[in-house]
Amino acid sequence: MIAESLLATSITKDDRMSNPLTPNRREFLALSASAVAMPLAGPPLPVPLGFDNFAVRAMNWKADQLLDYAKKLNVDSLFISDLDAVGSLDASNLARIKAKAAELGVGIHLGTWSICPTSTTFKNKWGDASAHLELGLRTAAALGSPVLRVILGNGADRATPGGIKARIDDTAAVCKSQRSLSEKLGVKIAVENHAGDMQAHEVASLVEKAGKSYVGVNLDSGNSTWTLEDPLAVLETLAPFTVTTSLRDSMVWESANGATVQWTAMGEGVVDWKTYFDRFRKLCPNVPVHIETISGFNREIAFLKPGFWKPYPDAKASDLAAFVALAKRGKPKPTFSPPPGQDRNSAEKTHQLGEVERSIAYCRSLGLGIKK
C-alpha cells in the first residue's frame, strides 16, 4: 500500500507520456517485487551451531546442565531430543528453562520419540500416539521451540505387515490428528529419518502425505548411511522440508557382505562437509546445525546377502551407487574400547564429550556458528 501511494503521487500520466521509459503502475510494482525477491549478493548467512543432548547421553544431564554445557561451548542452539531430558514438564519449570535459555542466548529445539502406533519402537509412556504428540507440541511451545522432532521407528519396521508404506500412513494419520494444534501453537512437527526406518524419498512422501505446511524434517546425516544413502544426496532431497538437524560424520568401507558403517565425529569420516555445508547454507537458511555424535561401534549393511532387498521395494539404483562410492573412499575403523584401567562408564563420558567438542571445533573451521 505504501508503494502504491507513493507511485500515485510521483508518477503521473503526463510523466509517462514525456518519458516512455518511466514504468507504469503495474510495471513499477512488478519491479519492486523483483527487488524484494532478489536481494543483493553478500556474505553467506551465518549458520547457527549447537548440539543434540543424545551426543552426551552418558552424562544423564537434564535441561539445566545441558544449557550450562551449551554456555561452556559458546554455541547458539541446544537440541533436547527427548522429553525425559527436559526434567519436570510442569509449566513453571518449562518457563524457567525458557528464560534461562534466553538469558544465555541459546535457542532450544525439542524432540521426542516414536509417534507411530504400529512401530516396533512405540511405547505408551506418554499415552497413545496422538496424546504423545499433543504433549510434545505443548511442551515445545512452552519452551519456545519452533519444532518438535518425532520419529517413525527404526529399520525393523520395514519388515512389519504392510512394510514401511503402512507405517508411513499410520504416522501421517497421527500428525493429522494434531494439525490444528501444531498450527495454533506455531510448532512444526519435524519427522526424522531415523535408525534405518525411511530413505529420503520415503520421508518426503510422509511429509507430503501429512501436509508440508505444518510437518517438516529433522535431517539426520548419520542415519542416511544406515539406509544405503549418501548424506549429500539426502540433503538435496530433504532440504525443502528441513527445519532442524542432527548431524554426524560416517566412515563407510566395503566389507564381505556389502559395506560397514561406523558413525564418527565431524571431519573424521567420508562425508564431504565443505560441499555439504556450501549447499546447506543455500538450501536451509536459518536452520541450526546440531551435532549428534554417536560413535565407536560398527554396523554392517549386508546388501549382498540374499533377501536383503525385500523390505526395500522402491529402492533406487542411483542411491546404492552413491553409497557404494562412499564405501570405496572409506577404510576400516576399530571400535571404541576403554583405555586400560578405566571403567567403561567413565571412558564413555570422556569419549562422548571429546567427540562433540572436536565436532564443534571442526564445524567452526568451516565457518559455522554465530557465536565465536
Q: Find residue 249's DSSP bridge partners.
A: 264
Distance CA 333, CA 259 (A): 12
Which are the contacts of 98, defined by CB distance < 8 A and separation ≥ 6?
108, 142, 143, 144
Which candidate, 187, 109, 196, places its Cα nearest to that of 151?
A: 196
Helix boundaries (H) for 190-337: 200-210, 221-226, 231-238, 273-283, 317-329
Q: Give tens-digit pLDDT for 122-138.
A: 999 999 999 999 999 99
Distance CA 259, CA 269 (A): 14
Distance CA 235, CA 283 (A): 9
Residue 17: its pLDDT value, please?
A: 31
Q: At what angle do helices 63-73 and 344-365 cross, to 10 degrees?
A: 50
Distance CA 353, CA 371 (A): 20
Task: Look at the domain 49-365 and name its fold.
Answer: TIM Barrel (3.20.20)
**pLDDT tens sequence for the chain (372 residues):** 333 332 232 333 333 333 333 334 333 333 333 333 444 456 678 999 999 999 999 999 999 999 999 999 999 999 999 999 999 999 999 999 999 999 999 999 999 999 999 999 999 999 999 999 999 999 999 999 999 999 999 999 999 999 999 999 999 999 999 999 999 999 999 999 999 999 999 999 999 999 999 999 999 999 999 999 999 999 999 999 999 999 999 999 999 999 999 999 999 999 999 999 999 999 999 999 999 999 999 999 999 999 999 999 999 999 999 999 999 999 999 999 999 999 999 999 999 999 999 999 999 999 999 998
Which ranges in the chain are annotated with CATH 3.20.20.150?
A: 49-365
Contact by Cβ (8 Å): 326, 301: no
Q: Give tens-digit pLDDT for 237-248.
A: 999 999 999 999
Contact by Cβ (8 Å): 210, 172: yes
DSSP calls for 44-55 = PPP--EEEEGGG
**Which pTM was predicted?**
0.88
Residue 8: its pLDDT value, please?
A: 34
Cell numbers standing for residue 99: 528464560
Which candidate, 318, 317, 275, 268, places its Cα nearest to that of 293?
A: 268
